[in-house]
């Protein structure tokens, strides 16, 4: 079967997507915890990046430094350059107010929008039709409230601990929590030290200054609300902001008893852990050892998967990291992670392909997962194509596009690696102990945004699996 024929097969499969979106309206309550903030989005060109590098006095040797963290203005520019030249996404943490003020005065922003996995997912799921979405916010002043969609089913806690429409909440004494999302375009060039670098893939660098979320501050009223009302799904995130220098490992462990309590009290609820770019290795290890085993589902991208692999199999990490990311290669990584973590369901998203590996007895079967993943592919492509998700009528905008040829080639490579030709057509391979679900995706050639893409993919895939 040639690519055009295969493309037709998958276009027919994607025909179920509108029906899957309607089914999300049957979900009664989702809670998102713990990180919500404000993103200051900035599109940066290679030319301006060179100007900033010169302005802060960056030297060629600075680019050889491997540590991922922000302690100076030079570190901000070094991080952007790393992601720009490699076409990767990373988030680096800043704890110095003086550096935050430098970013505010020298970077600026093109627009403000919802930030943090918890906030981004809350907006997307409420817009998709979940009956009630409750978002945890460590800070909720008026500026934060403006980043929530104006929806009656989207709620947060006010200053009195009452759950109200999120856009109407104004905890005036809270400080705004602002992160810089610095995006760059594929094929743009950056000249530094007499050498020209070309960006291989559109992506972004995140510079975070956020004391509340860096300390994983949890609103006690939120805990009380969940204890009283329960949830159908809980989307966990925000641990990646922690650092071992700020007692991050203990902060990770401090939530274990809370999660265990929720699992015991609401056994029918599904807890999904969304991993993110966690720079601190000790915190990363604690997340994998303490939180991941309590999760029913885990979502991550290729970069995050390699970061986890680094702490459980450093030798394998070194060999894989040196190669180009491919579906077979990342499936091997996924297998290793699942054997170590033993989560019932793990979903990996790479460029062009979503792969879910789950227990055969997982409560959402393979066909349901496949349908949810196709819905996520469509909504994620919509977000990339129009730049935001604000209107229900626009959610399936990307349905007009065909599954990408690159995506189908990745699926073919994975099917060949797994020795199952039929998987190219079905996207499903049931094995003795687990099931593999792989879905080729719709790709937008020139995305307007990539912020929150992974969070949207993971959460819609899970909730759309019905």
pLDDT in tens, 217-227: 999 999 999 99
Residues 6 or more apart in contact with residue 400 via CB below 8 angstroms: none
The residues, any chain, with a CB within 8 Å of residue 325's CB and separated by 6 or more, are 302, 350, 351
Give me the pLDDT at residue 450, please: 82
Domains and CATH numbers, the chain: 3-35+132-161+212-463 (3.40.1190.20), 40-113+175-209 (3.30.1110.20)
Contact 385, 421 (CB under 8 A): no
Q: In the predicted model, what is the mean pLDDT of the chain?
A: 94
The three-state DSSP-derived secondary structure of the chain is CCHHHHHHHHHHHHHHHHHHHHHHHHCCEEEEECCCEEEEEEECCHHHHHHHHHHCCCCHHHHHCCCCCECCHHHHHHHHHHHHHHCCCEEEEECCHHHHHHHHHHCCCCEEEEECHHHHHHHHHHHHCCCEEEECCCCCCHHHHCCCCCCCCEEEECCCCCEEEHHHCCCCCCCCCEEEEEEECCCCEEEECCEEEECCCCEEEEEECCHHHHCCCCCHHHHHHHHHHCCCEEEECCHHHCCHHHCHHHHHHHCHHHHHHHHHHCCCCEEEEECCCCCCHHHHHHHHHHHHHHCCEEEEEHHHHHHHHHHHCHHHHHHHHCCCCCHHHHHHHHHHHHHHHCCCEEEEEECCEEEEEEECCCCCCHHHHHHHHHHHHHHHHHHHHHCCCCCHHHCCHHHHCCCCHHHHHHHHHHHHHCCCCCHHHHCEEECCCEEEEEEECCCCCCCCCCCCHHHHHHHHHHHCCC
DSSP code for 288: I
Task: Give tens-digit pLDDT for 55-106.
Answer: 999 998 888 888 888 999 999 999 999 999 999 989 898 888 899 889 989 9
- Which residues are registered as beta bridge partners of 233? 30, 270
Q: Report d(CA 236, CA 296) in Å as an integer.
A: 11
Neighbouring C-beta atoms of residue 269, cutoff 10 Å = 18
Who wins on pLDDT, 296 or 320?
296
Q: What is the pLDDT of residue 44?
A: 96
Upstream peptide bond of 83 is cis (omega within 30 degrees of 0) = no
- Is it the case that residue 318 has pLDDT exceeding 80? no
Confidence band for 178, pLDDT divided at 50, 70 and 90: confident
Question: What pLDDT is recorded for position 1?
Answer: 83
For the stretch 242-285, pLDDT in tens is: 989 889 999 999 999 999 999 999 999 999 999 988 989 999 99
- Look-up of token digits 């994975």: 414
pLDDT value, residue 118 = 96
- What is the reported pTM? 0.86
Residue 320 confidence (pLDDT) above 90: no
pLDDT at 122: 98
Quote the pLDDT of residue 76. Answer: 96
For residue 336, list its beta bridge partners.
none
**Contact, 461 vs 347, CB < 8 A?**
yes
Cβ neighbour number for residue 178 with a 10 Å cutoff? 20
> Which pLDDT value is given to residue 448?
87
């Amino acid at each position: 079967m040639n690519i055009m024929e295969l493309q037709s097969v998958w276009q027919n499969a994607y025909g179920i997507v509108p029906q899957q979106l309607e089914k999300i309206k049957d979900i009664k309550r989702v809670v998102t915890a713990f990180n919500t903030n404000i993103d200051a989005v900035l599109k940066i060109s290679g030319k301006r990046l060179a100007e900033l590098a010169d302005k802060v006095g960056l030297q060629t040797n600075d680019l050889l430094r491997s540590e991922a963290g922000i302690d100076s203005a030079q570190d901000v520019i070094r991080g952007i350059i790393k992601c720009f030249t490699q076409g990767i996404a990373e988030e680096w943490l800043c704890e110095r107010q003086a550096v935050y003020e430098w970013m505010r005065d020298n970077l600026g922003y093109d627009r403000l929008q919802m930030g943090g996995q918890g906030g981004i997912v809350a907006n997307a799921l409420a817009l998709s039709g979940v009956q009630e979405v409750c978002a945890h916010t460590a800070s909720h002043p008026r500026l934060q409230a403006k980043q929530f969609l104006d929806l009656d089913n989207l709620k947060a806690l006010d200053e009195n601990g009452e759950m109200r429409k999120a856009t109407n909440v104004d905890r005036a004494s809270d400080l705004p929590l602002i992160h810089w999302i610095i995006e760059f375009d594929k094929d743009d060039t950056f000249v530094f030290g007499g050498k020209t670098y070309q960006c291989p893939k559109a992506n972004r660098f995140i510079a975070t200054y956020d004391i509340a979320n860096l300390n994983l501050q949890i609103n006690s009223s939120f805990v009380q609300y969940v204890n009283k009302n329960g949830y159908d799904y809980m989307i966990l995130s925000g641990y990646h902001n922690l650092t071992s220098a700020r007692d991050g490992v203990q902060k990770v462990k401090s939530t274990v008893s809370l999660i265990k309590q929720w699992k015991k009290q609401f056994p029918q609820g599904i807890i999904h852990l969304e991993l993110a770019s966690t720079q601190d290795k000790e915190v990363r290890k604690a997340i994998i050892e303490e939180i991941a085993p309590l999760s029913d589902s885990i979502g991550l991208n290729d970069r995050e998967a390699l970061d986890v692999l680094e702490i459980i199999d450093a030798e394998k990490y070194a060999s894989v990291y040196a190669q180009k990311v491919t579906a077979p290669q990342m499936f091997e990584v996924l297998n290793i992670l699942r054997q170590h973590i033993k989560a019932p369901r793990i979903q990996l998203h790479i460029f062009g392909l979503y792969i879910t590996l789950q227990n055969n007895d997982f409560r959402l079967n393979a066909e349901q997962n496949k349908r949810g993943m196709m819905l996520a592919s469509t909504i994620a492509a919509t977000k990339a194509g129009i730049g935001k998700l604000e209107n229900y009528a626009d959610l399936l905008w990307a349905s007009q596009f065909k599954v990408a040829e690159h995506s189908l080639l990745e699926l073919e490579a994975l099917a060949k690696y797994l020795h199952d030709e039929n998987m190219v057509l079905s996207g499903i391979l049931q094995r003795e102990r687990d099931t593999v679900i792989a879905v080729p995706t719709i790709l937008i050639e020139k995305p307007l945004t990539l912020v929150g893409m992974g969070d949207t993919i993971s959460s819609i895939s899970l909730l759309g699996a019905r």
